[in-house]
Homo-oligomer: A and B are copies of this chain.
Amino acid sequence: MVPRYSRPEMTAIWSPETRYKIWFEIEALAAEAMGNLGTIPADAARTIREKGDARTADITATDVDRIDEIEHETRHDVIAFLTWLGEGIGPEARFMHQGMTSSDVLDTCLNVQLTRAADLLLRDLDAVLDALRRRAEEHALTPTIGRSHGIHAEPTTFGIKLAGHWAEFARCRTRLQAARAEVATCAISGPVGSFASVDPRVEAFVAERLGLRPEPVSTQVIPRDRHAAFFCTLAVVASAIERLATEVRHLQRSEVREAEEYFHPGQKGSSAMPHKRNPVLSENLTGLARIVRGYATPALENVALWHERDISHSSVERVIGPDATITLDFALMRTAGMMDKLTVYPERMKANLESLGGVVHSQKVLLALTQAGMSREDSYRAVQRAAMATWTALGTPNGRTFRDELLADPEVSAKLDAAALDTAMDPAKDFRHVGNTLARVFATGGL
């Protein structure tokens, strides 16, 4: 967790104080359920709740240190917490944690944290989606060249570009909701998950109060395939960020200059070269995406625990739980901000689009020639010949536009005269379906 890539709300989810509050909440709810069932005295449950609330309500760094100190002796984090908590509760403390095992507390707590984190990430995704949709609609009909392999292909609009990214993030939102559901379970099933000393109704009660589902069958731990699926989903979201960041980086290249990250007054691009304005946000996002993706592998390796549980997953989750969600939260909000303020240069888009002498209309000519009866192979050769001639002479004194090259080619002009050629190459064709496509993508949620 690197402070510069952390936002406070997400960071707070992973603080020791939050964790201990959730632990207490689980213990108090379990005690309440046991009190209701008569497993422990109902009075004891009330005492646990009241005195425990008092002890944990404003838990401080000093308390955290004290718990650490007890853990240093017992070498067991949950026992250390229960001991500290018991000091504040008194004799009734012995009725806490009855029939439970530490995994009940730890795993349920982790899932509470992950679902809270997911809720923040969903909100972040909404911010990204909002920015993308607004800019997509703003530039619905801003012409720009579409590029395949980095080479000018055919015209499209900047709005369509952004709509593609919107759709990808919309799918990510759907995936993240599914991933949230994966980890929204609660286990209070005792050692080896057998419920030998704890009633399953306790689990049902705690789950319901925490907004979780009971884990259908736990092996003491909540199975880690759930968490693997969760972190893989974060990795996919990170990759969506990287695709958008890569687009911005390309558009801001000196030779392209079609869009630019907002450059703050007072900002300095380089310690050496005062002329620099660099796409540092999108490059930063590219790196953050690598980080978040990197956490998928250890999450997958965490699945194959031994028998009913081993604790090898724990150190991994202490790292990737906070780091993956905090980093992704930061990255998503940076993405939203970047897209919100992105400076777009439609004039430059137009200039680039027109910079290759019209060869980007080659397909339309190819089709017109085949419709006019030429074979696909012959048409292809003729159009390729003209396009290459235009391309090669770009910027030279004797260069000719693609249209002129075609008209000068007897094989082509035998099939298409100037008027037919102009009809074929009509740029209006390129944008006729833009409105439908935008409508479709927003209607389907990108699915």
Chain B residues whose C-beta falls within 8 Å of the C-beta of A313 in the assembled complex? 287
Q: Which of B236, B290, B293 contacts A225 (CB 8 A)?
A: B236
Is A59 interfacial (CB-CB < 8 Å)? no
User: Is A94 a contact of B148 with CB atoms below 8 Å?
Assistant: no
Give the complex CA separation of A79 and B269 in angstroms.
10
From A50-58, A117-125, A193-201, A415-423, the one touching the partner chain is: A193-201
User: Is B374 a contact of A254 with CB atoms below 8 Å?
Assistant: no
Is A61 interfacial (CB-CB < 8 Å)? no
In chain A between 218 and 255, which residues have their CB closer than 8 angstroms to a CB of chain B?
218-220, 223, 225-226, 228-229, 232-233, 235-236, 239-240, 242-243, 245-247, 249-250, 252-255
Is A302 interfacial (CB-CB < 8 Å)? yes
User: Is B300 a contact of A229 with CB atoms below 8 Å?
Assistant: no
User: Is B156 a contact of A308 with CB atoms below 8 Å?
Assistant: yes
User: Is A216 a contact of B446 with CB atoms below 8 Å?
Assistant: yes
User: Is B388 a contact of A275 with CB atoms below 8 Å?
Assistant: yes
User: Is B194 a contact of A271 with CB atoms below 8 Å?
Assistant: no
Identical chains in the assembly: 4
Give 19 pairs: A residue, B residue, CB < 8 Å, sorted on A: A149-B280, A149-B311, A151-B278, A153-B192, A153-B220, A154-B196, A167-B216, A168-B225, A194-B434, A200-B436, A225-B243, A229-B232, A242-B304, A273-B366, A275-B359, A283-B314, A288-B315, A291-B319, A297-B297
Give the complex CA separation of A319 and B79 in angstroms.
32
A contacts with B, residue count (CB < 8 A): 179
User: Is A175 a contact of B229 with CB atoms below 8 Å?
Assistant: yes
Residue of B nearest to A395 (CB): B351
User: Is A283 a contact of B308 with CB atoms below 8 Å?
Assistant: no
Is A19 interfacial (CB-CB < 8 Å)? no
User: Is B217 a contact of A163 with CB atoms below 8 Å?
Assistant: yes
Q: Which of B102, B161, B381 contacts A270 (CB 8 A)?
A: B102
Give the complex CA separation of A257 and B109 in angstroms.
33
Is A295 interfacial (CB-CB < 8 Å)? yes
Q: Which of B151, B312, B436 contacts A284 (CB 8 A)?
A: B312
User: Is A307 a contact of B367 with CB atoms below 8 Å?
Assistant: no
Is A384 interfacial (CB-CB < 8 Å)? yes
Is A323 interfacial (CB-CB < 8 Å)? yes
Give the complex CA separation of A197 and B271 in angstroms.
13
Chain B residues whose C-beta falls within 8 Å of the C-beta of A1 in the assembled complex? 1
